[in-house]
Structure 1
Amino acid sequence: MEERERAVVRTVPTGLYVDGAWREAADGGRFDVEDPATGEVIASVADATVDDARQAVDAAVAHQEAWAHSAPRERAEILRRAFEAVMAAQDDLALLMTLEMGKPVAESRGEVAYAAEFLRWFSEEAVRVHGDFYVSPDATTRVLTTRQPVGPSYLITPWNFPLAMGTRKIAPALAAGCTVIVKPAEQTPLCTLALASIFERVGLPPGVLNVVTTSHPGPISDAIIGHPGLRKLSFTGSTEVGSLLMRKASSGLLRLSMELGGNAPLIVFEDADLDKAVAGAVFAKMRNGGEACTSANRILVHESLADTFSERLATALASLKVARGTEPDASVGPLIDADALAKVSGLVEDAVAAGASLVTGGERRGDRGYFFSPTVLRDVPPTARVFREEIFGPVAPVYRFDDDDEAIRLANDTTYGLVGYIFTESLSRAVRTIEALETGMVGVNQGLVSNAAAPFGGVKRSGFGREGGFEGIHEYLNVKYAALNLS
């Protein structure tokens, strides 16, 4: 690492953050954090024990009542100060993110700004939690509803958006009056630790936010989920792990939010503006190097445009600079680890063996790190694994369709339902397709749907619950109803 990189990493606490204090794991254990562009170890952090995990929940439980009864304006001001502090540290946080996750620094800066928006948005929502009051149909009772914090919440965040997925969960929980225990992914714990340090500096009371880092998430999650004081679990990650966590959470009847896998279709109809469609596909496919649950996995193009679109998409992807994210003009960083590289390579090999044509890319880049060339596959048969499985890499498979009904059928032919993208110049076609797609979100003539002010979430095996928007804070609130007899 260069000296500036070392300096940024040195500013980050590497212990557990429990009950307002930084501390080592009970057994002194630590684990390494690797730069996926080089394979170099950039830091080591505390490796929590089961006892550490239980103590983190104990702290959250102990401080829940006081935080729930704190003034909404106080919670709002803390979140606002955190927003300002994150933006003030944008350059350092972006570099830190690139070092532990790999994405280009320019893209990391965009994520820092996106992450900060959740802090600002929910600082504004903290003072707008409301109930209702109305007359019952028989006029004998007044119905009073209020909303109260769910209680101590366990938040599990993924490695691909290490700061934004943290603020997207932490901000609404704190705004609602819930204390939290956060477990970041073992590949990317540094951004979460840096965020906890920021919250500490801006005056968040001890025990409201607790961070547990670990290289053995199974036993740690079991201990936290099994704690009798826990009230909610929010998880972002794979559908398989989400299903497992749901089963474990059932014994405590925990409130759940699950943001799981995706297999997003991107439909280019025959009347689409090809410039918009290609640009939108590049963004929807290559954001985060394709390592996103919202990534366009199946690009469905009308027969009349398929050849031209494929060539233009291939030209655009081939022009992207694949390099370590700290290099000038880097467009595509490495995949997160060796397993991810092997999976993406295997999906491309399977598709070609099934009859797909390789238009560009298709190979590993370099002899260190986990780089893979941006890839376009044309005429991919639906029998290929890449049609069914989440790719999580820079591979764009293009499929043909003949009419709108076939496009919708192919788009919905998946167990996932997070997001879909459509490109058309027809308003009526856009509305029909929005209504027909079995997804929680739809992008129309754009390759981006993520927005702190909008409800993010899916259907089917992509999970349930919403993060962001007006709906996001309600995931951390219970409705209480009181019947007032005024007769």
Structure 2
Amino acid sequence: MEKYTELNKQFINGQWREGKGDSIIDNLNPFDNSVINTFKVANKQDVDEAYDTAKDVSKVWGTNNPLVRRDLMMRTADVLMKREHEVTEWLIKEVASTALKAQVEIKQSYDMLIEASGYPTRMHGFTIPSFTEGKESYVFRKPLGVVSMISPWNFPLYLSMRTIAPAIAVGNAIVIKPASQSPVTGGTIIAKLFEEAGIPAGVINCVVGKSGEIGDYFTGHPGSRLISFTGSTPVGKGIGRIGGEALKKLALELGGNNAFVVLDDADVDRAVESAVFGRFMHQGQICMSTNRILIHDSIYDTFRDKFLDKAKALTYGDPADPKTIIGPLIDNKAVKHVLDLIERSVQAGAKLELGGQAEGNVVQPTILSEVTKDMPIFQEEVFGPAVGLVRFKTDEEAVELANGTEYGLSGALHTRDLQRGIQFAKQIETGMIHINDQSVNDEMNTPFGGEKNSGVGRFGDDFIVDELTTVQWISVQVQPRKYPF
């Protein structure tokens, strides 16, 4: 089986071609900063052509036999697993995925395709009793037509697939703009997978360009009905403003500053195991990552010592090494952000227990203790392998601390009393929270999304079907109606 070619091209109307823009994007390996490939960027004309194509094709794609769309999802899932090794190589070299992280991401993408294969037959309508004599009312569910998706670089394959697969499955065409740091794994290789599976030309389109040149134009383009975006809160707010002015639907999964709460009756060893995974998976570059660990004062020292011992054993370095747990951050800008956050927090009084240094783009696993709510590492999203440990004395104080930021995406808590845990969890202002687990959880049949500045809308199950479709009321006056004049 030959490996994919033309992954550094635009994909519009079933054709792989160079972008019409004047500049280029060098796709860099985060570990050694080597150039993987180079894109000639898309310009506004390319964006127009992608949307025009998608709009034309959607009229047919959205009305075909649902089993056609079901079978496409199944075939694409098979193609993905057939090319698992190739996709893994791309995830490692393009976004510094470790082997473990790549395995998780591919499995999630596969599961998303399988889950989406059931969506074509879940486009349920219904009838409504009419207030008018002799009338029947029907409600039909229909695809939106064209969907826009701006994909992130951290989990580019899966976080793209969780919009792409459902959007296509329910009958939409889609135009993708992947992040400049992950144009292949967040865009072109996905288009290749669907192309190999036999998707009709124009149902999926991918334009790779610089946000400063086509970003706002792509977002506000009248050719789409919905914008799906996963990324930072500041960028998401800008996308929300543009989309709102264009009266588009929005599905925005934004930043997180997720609390991990260890109550006084918790199993400390189990909590430590969970917290290490929740913080250091993919170098902490996950919106759901454990960002703040809140520990009851009575077990704080015990938890800290065991957490440190576990973190010290984590291997870091080259993501291509199967033994590596913590690889590089996406670029040097991200490294500087994390180191600055650590430095400012130490200056504010936090104690550096572990790490705090970088080797190239690899930041050592870093733990700060005696963190308080006014410190930068408490208030800001870290997006790197550093975490703060915070003391609390009562459940009420823990709730206040957990809710003490602008974010509300995910969270976790540990307790032996499950009813106590559920009542505690219900007080946390977050879209998702997990008892006796960690904060990085995403299952395709659950409502995924955040509160406050962590986004709007929900992915997963019937929730994403609702986002990607609309309903139409059609009434039939079966018996002649008597009008007042």
What TM bracket, shorter-length normalisation?
Answer: over 0.9
Residue among 30, 38, 44 paired with 1:36: 30
Residue among 204, 210, 229 paired with 1:209: 204
Q: 1:422 deviation in Å?
A: 0.8
* Contact residue 235 and residue 257 of structure 1 kept, 8 A: yes
Comparing 11-20 and 299-308, the one that deviates more = 11-20
Q: 3-state SS of the aligned residue for 1:171? A: helix
Aligned partners of 1:225 and 1:381: how far apart in 2? 39
Alignment of 1:68-467 (within 5 A): 68-136=62-130, 141-191=135-185, 192-214=187-209, 216-365=210-359, 369-447=360-438, 448-467=440-459
Aligned partners of 2:213 and 2:5: how far apart in 1? 29
Task: In structure 1, give the amino acid aligned to 2:450.
Answer: G
Comparing 448-457 and 258-267, the one that deviates more = 448-457
Aligned partners of 1:451 and 1:152: how far apart in 2? 25
Q: 1:481 deviation in Å?
A: 1.7
Comparing 98-107 and 133-142, the one that deviates more = 133-142
Q: 3-state SS of the aligned residue for 1:392? A: coil
Comparing 128-137 and 204-213, the one that deviates more = 128-137
Q: 1:14 deviation in Å?
A: 1.2
Aligned partners of 2:425 and 2:126: how far apart in 1? 32
Q: 1:228 deviation in Å?
A: 2.6
In structure 1, stretches of 5+ residues that fail to align are 1-6
Q: 1:29 deviation in Å?
A: 4.1
Task: In structure 2, give the amino acid aligned to 1:185.
Answer: A
Residue among 49, 52, 63 paired with 1:58: 52
Q: Which residue of 2 aligns with 1:3?
A: none
Q: 1:9 deviation in Å?
A: 8.0
Aligned partners of 2:4 and 2:312: how far apart in 1? 36
Q: 1:223 deviation in Å?
A: 2.3
Q: 3-state SS of the aligned residue for 1:300? A: strand
TM-score (norm 2): 0.95
Aligned partners of 2:402 and 2:451: how far apart in 1? 14
Comparing 140-149 and 253-262, the one that deviates more = 140-149
User: How many residues get paired?
Assistant: 477
Aligned partners of 1:12 and 1:275: how far apart in 2? 49
Task: In structure 1, give the amino acid aligned to 2:387.
Answer: A
1:477 aligns with 2:469: yes
Aligned partners of 1:218 and 1:28: how far apart in 2? 13
Comparing 308-317 and 293-302, the one that deviates more = 308-317
TM-score (norm 1): 0.95
Q: 1:246 deviation in Å?
A: 1.4
Q: Which residue of 1 aligns with 2:482?
A: none
Q: 3-state SS of the aligned residue for 1:471? A: helix
* Contact residue 419 and residue 458 of structure 1 kept, 8 A: yes
Aligned partners of 1:347 and 1:251: how far apart in 2? 35
Provide the identity percentage: 35
**CA shift digits 1:216-237 (9 cap, x unpaired):** 2133132223433221111111
* Contact residue 25 and residue 40 of structure 2 kept, 8 A: yes
Q: 1:432 to 1:392 in 2, by over 3 A?
A: same
Q: 1:267 to 1:446 in 2, by over 3 A?
A: same
**CA shift digits 1:327-359 (9 cap, x unpaired):** 131111000111100010011111111111111
Where do 4+ consecutive residues of structure 1 move more than 3 Å? 7-12, 136-143, 483-487
Q: 1:137 deviation in Å?
A: 6.3
Q: 1:282 to 1:150 in 2, by over 3 A?
A: same
Q: 3-state SS of the aligned residue for 1:347? A: helix
* Contact residue 6 and residue 16 of structure 2 kept, 8 A: no
